[in-house]
Structure 1
Amino acid sequence: MNFIQKSIFITVMLLMIVSCGNDKKEVSGPPTVKKVDPEMTIKEGKGIGEIKHVELNDPLDPEMVKRGKSIYELKCAACHKLSGARVVGPSWAGITTRRKPEWILNMITNVDMMLEKDPSAQKLLEECLTRMPNQNVSIGDARDLLEFMYQNDADNAGK
């Protein structure tokens, strides 16, 4: 009896496997992540980090600008001024004309790696003599800061 039960069980299992396994459906797997050479992103002026491309808003999003201003006042204003004056860190005046948006976001969100490997960030460190602290700014908050930077540069254009 035991042999018959085992035989039936094995037969049923084989039928289930065969009947379920013959459909050739194309299933898309998880999205592939393109490996990006850090040296190439440095050469392109985008810095080192998660940010490889930034879609800019035209016109600027006023809500993002408002949130960015709040984040600036909380986490950035002690070291960075909006005008041409340098305090501890470099001024934000004209930053969006000097740097690519990807570089700015990578510097905000990946400051330690940027200061370690990015030549432009290293040059700023030599000039300012103070290492920018990691403020644990999320990518979303960094994007709001970038929007605020663009607004600041637009407000101060020609001054």
Structure 2
Amino acid sequence: MKLLKTLGLATITFAFLSCEGDKKTDSVPTASGTETTATAETTADASSYDPNRGLGKHDKIDVSSFDPALAAAGKGIAEVKCTSCHKPTEEKLVGPGWKGVTTRQTPEWIMNFISNPDPMIDVDPELQKQLELCLVRMPNQGLADNEAREILEYMREIDGAK
């Protein structure tokens, strides 16, 4: 019994420590393994924050036409990486529901946030309020640029884009 308690405690400790991360680095898969690099977005402060664009490399996203193939791919990615915390409705699960997000935020803001949420959570007062409500910081899912764009298109579909 004592062994089971010790193993259980060790498992919980390992799980907790493995969730901790350095917010100032991103892991980038490479052919030789995983390389960690600091990004400019993670060092930004509140004075350089643009509430319409967020923080990150995504700028001027063309959403003039709806692409159902991108939306379908985005739905598939969301089912794997997002739906454990977000619903496609207005209902809050762990995080807020996605219904209406594309009417409240710009495409650039959405892509920058889902691509690298940590620096934006650190400086955006609205995201800090969401964090107080949800009590869980959105993890960086390590999305590639094309995956972030596909999820954005799925969010647009949820909001009625055709």
Structure 1 residue 54: Cα displacement:
0.8
Q: Structure 1: how far apart are the matches of 2:73 and 2:144?
A: 13
Q: Structure 2: how far apart are the matches of 1:109 and 1:131?
A: 14
Matched, 1:56 2:53: no
More helix by share: 1
Q: Structure 2: how far apart are the matches of 1:38 and 1:148?
A: 30
The answer as to whether partners of 2:88 and 2:97 remain within 8 angstroms in 1 is yes
TM-score, normalising length: structure 2 = 0.67
TM-score, normalising length: structure 1 = 0.68
- Describe the superposition over 1:102-131 as per-residue Cα deviations: whole angstroms up to 9, x where unpaired: 111111011111111222222211221110
From 140, 152, 157, the equivalent of 2:158 is: 152
- For this pair of structures, how many residues does the alignment match? 118
More strand by share: 2
Structure 1 residue 47: Cα displacement:
0.8
Structure 2 equivalent of residue 42 of structure 1: 50
Percent identity between the two aligned chains: 43
The answer as to whether partners of 2:90 and 2:98 remain within 8 angstroms in 1 is yes
Structure 1 residue identity aligned to 2:80:
L
Q: Structure 1: how far apart are the matches of 2:139 and 2:152?
A: 18
The answer as to whether partners of 2:49 and 2:123 remain within 8 angstroms in 1 is no
- Describe the superposition over 1:44-81 as per-residue Cα deviations: whole angstroms up to 9, x where unpaired: x21111112211141x1111011000001000000000
Structure 1 residue 138: Cα displacement:
1.0
Structure 1 residue identity aligned to 2:50:
I
Q: Structure 2: how far apart are the matches of 1:130 and 1:87?
A: 11
Structure 2 residue identity aligned to 1:83:
T
Q: Structure 2: which 5+ residue stretches go unaligned?
A: 1-44
The answer as to whether partners of 1:38 and 1:48 remain within 8 angstroms in 2 is no
Structure 2 residue identity aligned to 1:80:
H
Structure 1 equivalent of residue 37 of structure 2: none
Rg bigger for which structure? 1
From 107, 111, 122, the equivalent of 1:116 is: 122
